[in-house]
Amino acid sequence: MEKIAVLIPCYNEEKTIKKVVEDWKKELPEATIYVYNNNSTDRTVEIAKEAGAIVRNEYQQGKGNVIRRMFREIDAQCYIMIDGDDTYPAQFGREMAEKVLEYKVDMVVGDRLSSTYFEENKRPFHNLGNSMVRAAINHLFKSNIRDIMTGYRAFSYQFVKTFPVLSRGFEIETEMSIHAVDKNMLVDNVIIEYRDRPDGSESKLNTYTDGMKVLFTIIKLFKGYRPFQFFGSMAFLLMIIAAGLFIPVFMTYLHTGLVPNFPTLIVSGFIALAALQAFFSGLILSTIVQKNRQDFEFKLQLITNKIDNEKDN
């Protein structure tokens, strides 16, 4: 098992990949640097090899697919994930690796939003989106992750080998953050400097399309990880609607002894039944999620024992 692996997912980064690889070779000379090429059509692969990186390929398009491949293939005590666009300085890598190796942190988040991100990033909707996503996740999951969508992170072996990669694209960072919080893993933040892409380097992100994917990912993961809160909120909302329809009919009945609006009464009854169904669905699913957490802890213990055995040998 390697001590530190630097993982760089890449798609058409010939303008910056040489500098990124060389910077990391200087910062962490003991680390093995992997560049995972995701169907680049420029000279990314050639330049990365010349710079001294180990280059591998992932042919399914999308950052999530690349990360799934990296996490499956590489065994290391500490993983550092970094983008190939030279927006994240390598100088913070040593501190992030030490938190994983010395202090047993499972995920170290490179926090851009507390430093230079809003000054360097020239896309105002990206800035707004990052702030909204951070606020939403920290509120829904009761966490304190300062930068949800940063591509600069360090991971432990336990995190990497227990993280189920479901997303295919850039929403993968959101998925990582929620997984770490839900599984009660140790998360720490390191404030980093951010610099915008150099001239000639183009972002692969679409502000609106990828932003909508991230929002849908948050909703999907909240439903999966917090089913009782999700379906309980739905049940509460439906019950309010049902009561709003039922009360006028009931008040009319009390005053006149008649029920003139049978269709409204029937609709309110069906909505109330839907509310009850949502409530009990959330209750059942929350029991399943709790069982999954217990199974996860058992799996985590097996992985920890594997690491201890390898160290002893």
- pLDDT confidence of 313, banded at 50, 70, 90? low
Q: Locate 17 and state its tokens.
A: 């990949």
Mean pLDDT of 207-231: 85
Domain 2-224 carries which CATH code? Answer: 3.90.550.10
Mean pLDDT of the chain: 90
- 104, 186 Cβ separation under 8 angstroms: yes
Q: Locate 206 and state its tokens.
A: 């679409």
Assess whether pLDDT exceeds 70 at residue 253: yes
Where is average pLDDT lowest: 18-27, 69-78, 116-125, 293-302?
Answer: 116-125
86 Rama sector, left if φ>0, alpha if ψ -120 to 50, beta otherwise: left
What integer pLDDT is reported at residue 242 of this predicted model? 97
Task: Please list the residues that pair with 36 across neighbouring strands.
Answer: 9, 56
CA-CA distance, 79 to 6, in Å (whole number)?
6
What integer pLDDT is reported at residue 201 of this predicted model? 59
Let me know the angle formed at the C-alpha of 126 by 171 and 128, rounded to the nearest 5 degrees: 110
From the number of C-beta atoms within 10 Å of its C-beta (0-12, 13-18, 19+), residue 256 rates as exposed
- pLDDT confidence of 125, banded at 50, 70, 90? low
DSSP assignment string, 229-267: HHHHHHHHHHHHHHHHHHHHHHHHHHHHS----HHHHHH
- pLDDT confidence of 136, banded at 50, 70, 90? confident
Nearest Cα to 17, choosing from 66, 62, 84? 84
Assess whether pLDDT exceeds 70 at residue 121: no
pTM over 0.85: no
Q: Counting every residue, how long is the chain?
A: 313
Q: Locate 44 and state its tokens.
A: 């990314």
Domain assignments of the chain as residue spans, ordered by start: 2-224, 227-312
Angle between helices 207-225 and 124-140 (to 10 degrees): 0
Let me know the angle formed at the C-alpha of 6 by 5 and 12, rounded to the nearest 5 degrees: 140
- 145, 75 Cβ separation under 8 angstroms: no
What integer pLDDT is reported at residue 304 of this predicted model? 80
Residue with tokens 């009464």: 265
Residue with tokens 């998360």: 187
DSSP assignment string, 179-211: HHHHTT--EEEEE----PPPTT------HHHHH
Checking 194-197 for CB contacts under 8 A at 24+ apart, the result is 194/87, 194/88, 194/112, 194/115, 194/116, 194/117, 194/120, 194/121, 195/86, 195/87, 195/89, 195/116, 195/120, 196/87, 196/120, 196/121, 196/122, 197/16, 197/85, 197/86, 197/87
- Side chain identity at 105, as an amino acid letter? V
CA-CA distance, 140 to 185, in Å (whole number)?
17
- 43, 14 Cβ separation under 8 angstroms: yes
User: pLDDT of 281-290, one tens digit each?
Assistant: 999 999 999 9
CA-CA distance, 283 to 271, in Å (whole number)?
19
CA-CA distance, 236 to 152, in Å (whole number)?
39
pLDDT above 70 as % of the chain: 92
Mean pLDDT of 151-168: 93
